[in-house]
Each structure stands twice: as C-alpha cells, then as structure tokens.
Amino acid sequence: MGLLDQLSRTIAQSVDRARFEAEKFQKTTRLQGEVNELRRQVDSKLNELGQRAYELLRAGQIQSATLAELGAVVDQLRSALVMKEEELKQAQAEVYVEPPAPAPPPPSQSVPIDYGPPASTPAVKQCGVCGFQMPGTAMFCPNCGTRVT
C-alpha cells in the first residue's frame, strides 16, 4: 500500500465524517425545531385550558379549593395590571411644560450717588422719557438709557 493510497483513504474518511456531521447537524436542528413547535403548542393549549378553567370557576361551575386560590391570585394580578396600565397611560400622556420666564426685576430707584453733588447740580432729576427719578449727577437714565442733561 502506497503513500497515495493511504492519503486517499484518509481523505475519504475525513469527507465521510464531515458528511456525517453535516447530516447530523441538519437532523438535530430539524428535530429541535419540531420539539420547540410542539412545546409552543402544548403551552398554548395549557394556556387555553387555564383560561377556560378560570372562566368556569368564576361562573361557579367548578368547585376546587386549589383552583379557587389560583383564581384569587389571578384576580389580584389582573387588578394590579389594570392599575399599572392606567398609570402607564398617564405617564405617556404627560407633556413637558416650559417654565414661565422670570419677570424682569422692577427698576431700582437706588442708584449710587457721589458723596457730594456739585453745587450747581440738583440732587434729583426726572427722566424726560420715562419719568424715572434719578440722581442729579446722572448723565443717562438707569431705567431706559436715555441721555439726560
């Protein structure tokens, strides 16, 4: 048996193993999907059975202490669910309200005055535009900014 025959057999075995693993993977994936689908169907039917049992229990057609306890828990959960749903609706309906702009501060009549005005300047004068009372030494009205003389 030559080296090429040995190599050919090794390659053929590797190909067979790869084919086997690929087919195994496909088979297990397909079977896992079928198992998952059957589990989903079982869960769906159990859910339907539970819903019907709950309805019969509420209608008084089933008498069972265990089912009555489960029914009471379901009633409490449904009540909590309704309250949370209402809370959620309120939270979703909330809107941001812009805060009102702060009111501008009232004009201040207290403008610093020099320690002693010149003798020829009146102590207080009035702005001819807005009527603001200002120091006699002011050159501009502190309220409206008008130049005064």
Hey, where are the domains in the chain? 7-90, 120-149
Residue 140 has pLDDT above 80, yes or no: yes
Average predicted confidence (pLDDT) for the chain = 87
Confidence (pLDDT) at 104: 83
> Of 85, 133, 83, nearest to 113 (Cα)?
133
Closest CA to 136 of 119, 124, 144: 124
pLDDT of residue 1: 61
Distance of alpha carbon 96 from alpha carbon 111, whole angstroms: 40
Residues 5-26 have pLDDT tens digits of 899 999 999 999 999 999 999 9
Most confident of the ranges 1-5, 57-61, 116-120 = 57-61
Tokens of 46: 């159990």
Q: Which residues pair with residue 126 across a beta bridge?
A: 133
